[in-house]
Amino acid sequence: TIIPERRPSWLRVRPPEGEGYEEIKRLMRSKALHTVCEEARCPNIRECWGHGTATFMILGRICTRSCGFCAVETGRPLGVDWEEPKRVAEAVRQMGLRYAVVTSVNRDELKDGGASIFAATIRWIRRLNPGCKVEVLTPDFKGDYDALKVVMDAKPDVFNHNVETVPRLYRRVRPQAVYQRSLQVLKWAKELNPAAPTKSGFMLGLGESWDEVLEVMRDLRAHDVDILTIGQYLRPSFQHLPIQRYVPLEEFAALKEEGKKMGFRHVESGPFVRSSYHAHEQAEEALG
């Protein structure tokens, strides 16, 4: 059964927007930068931007993959912009960020999947913003260990890669991804840089069962993941996968408890949680 699009009350109340929204919008346009906040039509944009924080999306705004939940455009990307890392770092400086989150589209057509641009972005952010911490949310690089190593050698403070959903639903939700490969990437990231906490997350409301969710959480712990994010899937448009269920707040709270019992250092669980939502606060516990 497909439930109607009308949202339950806890998904209709949103925090008020802050003052910085227009400012960030102007900054991103002036530097020709993209954010996942806009491209993925994140429901938190007014709150995050209002408070002067955003998540950069590097390597263009066209993705080579076509995940069923994601609003980012699929197609053939343009070339690689080697000036982009520096512009991201300048924007971080202008925004005065102490914690920057950088993600990207998938660039499966590139030899290193865009890993070198990730590394350059981390280094540029550090160069122009001493003391600023950097979290990267990367693709799976098609399971290419060497590409991942390029990113980890640049020493991100937190490494994030999302499993997005339970393995049974991959064909519909993440058709070009492989569950085991994503777990492997997380494990390698920890091995390559044990000092950096690793992080992953998934959405609820796509048709997963409670037991399947717990299984994924156990898998993530078995691959040494430290930080977990759990949020409600919200359909970006009618072209995207339908919402199977609105998950009640109590269930998010119960999963947080389960996660803590399993040994995650931090669990962020709630309907509006996205992997970059309050990322700094999420990482604080794990970074010590």
Q: Site residues (CB under 6 A) for ligand SF4?
A: 36-37, 42, 44-45, 48, 53-55, 63, 65-67, 70, 72, 105-106, 274, 276-277
Tokens of 275: 């992997």
**Which residue lies nearer to ligand SF4 by CB, 193 or 275?**
275
Cβ neighbours, 10 Å, residue 194 = 10
Residue whose C-alpha is closest to residue 104's, from 70, 144, 130, 149: 70
**Which residue lies nearer to ligand SF4 by CB, 76 or 261?**
76
Nearest approach in angstroms of CB 261 to ligand SF4 is 26
Tokens of 205: 């409301």
**Which residue lies nearer to ligand SF4 by CB, 39 or 219?**
39
**Which residue lies nearer to ligand SF4 by CB, 231 or 259?**
231
**Which residue lies nearer to ligand SF4 by CB, 58 or 247?**
58
Nearest approach in angstroms of CB 180 to ligand SF4 is 17
Nearest approach in angstroms of CB 152 to ligand SF4 is 20
State CA 270 to chain mean position distance: 15
Residue whose C-alpha is closest to residue 157's, from 142, 137, 175: 137
Nearest approach in angstroms of CB 1 to ligand SF4 is 26
Strand partners, 74: 63
Secondary structure element (H or E) that encloses residue 266, with its range:
strand 266-269
Angle between helices 84-95 and 21-30 in degrees, nearest 10 = 160
**Which residue lies nearer to ligand SF4 by CB, 201 or 259?**
201
Residues in the chain: 288
Angle between helices 115-128 and 84-95 in degrees, nearest 10 = 40
Give the CA radius of gyration of the chain: 18
CB distance 228 to 199 below 8 Å: yes
**Which residue lies nearer to ligand SF4 by CB, 77 or 197?**
77
Nearest approach in angstroms of CB 194 to ligand SF4 is 26
CA 40, CA 233: separation in Å to the nearest integer?
12
